[in-house]
Amino acid sequence: MIDVYHNNFYREILQKRYEILQVLGRKPQRKTLLAYDIKIRKLVVIKLLTLNDEFIGEDLRLFESEVQVLKELKHPGIPHYIDRFEFSYDDGKGYALVQSYMPGRSLAEYLQWKGKFTEKEIKIIAKSLLEILIYLHEQLPSIIHRDIKPSNIILADRPYLIDFGCAQTLQTRYDDILPIVGTCGYMSPEQLNGAATTASDLYSLGATLITLSTGIQPTKLPRQKMRIEFEHFVKLSSGLVNWLQWMTETNLKRRTPSAEVALEALKTGKIANNKLFMVNLYNQKSNVTSFCGAMWNNIFY
């Protein structure tokens, strides 16, 4: 039996296999632990979901979805599935997901530590994340992460995309409305309307890169017709500014259509339908009315 109310689980062993080393994070009904897997002799991450009187059914659905998604994915930039198990505690039962540990710091931590990222750094991160999104979106059915943001990207020997707790396979029926999950400021208008698509991940990545280039959260940047107005807060080439505008276009039909196209445009510096894209963005309308260092050197130099 696990005492989930401990402030820490230090040296507690779960399933006779996982020795807890540290509590990485906690939210209502959830805890994330760093552990040592005695069987494979590696560090792992364990995500606990507890079921009690405050439990919401959607939490379990998202947990099970994350388990299934990670089971299917095999990519060097994504944590891989190791194990899942049930456990009991004084107030009921819970579920645990075990996945590989990605060492390093999150982009959110790097922002606090070093401030704004350079154009070179932003392009390196963007290319790696787009390659991951190409892989996710090419799955059958496509997998949408739905919560791309600085704290969910880890820098180690390469950028890693973590936390698939909001991930969802793309529904084939247009009348299926996905639950609204994600982080305010990084969600596209269509995701805020409960209709996330693969292009919604591109918007979130664009908003993340804008945060890296400005050092400012998207919710604190000015907006015009919901468009993020970041241009006066950055010192980037006009090509990269145009590309970021394209990625965060509020009109889904005018946004970059796929991660592959976005990656090619970033490499070549050419934006498809550039004349159409460069119209007066201030006149656009939206149907949404409101919305809520050694390791470093090894990566970039």
* pLDDT, position 290: 38
Q: For the residues 11-34, what does the mean pLDDT come to?
A: 91
Domains detected in the chain: 13-100 (3.30.200.20), 105-300 (1.10.510.10)
Residue 280 in this model has a pLDDT that exceeds 50: no
Does the pTM surpass 0.75? The reply is: yes
Percentage of the chain beyond pLDDT 70 is: 82
Among candidate residues 147, 157, 163, 176, the one labeled active-site is 147
Q: Which residue has the higher pLDDT, 96 or 174?
A: 96
Structure tokens at 154: 């880890």
Active site residue 176: no
Outline where the chain has alpha helix (H): 57-72, 107-114, 119-137, 189-192, 198-214, 238-247, 259-268, 274-277, 294-300
Helices 198-214 and 259-268: angle between axes, nearest 10 degrees: 40
* Residues 183-242 pLDDT 10s: 999 999 999 998 999 999 999 999 999 999 999 999 999 998 889 999 999 999 999 999
| pLDDT given for residue 281 in this prediction | 33
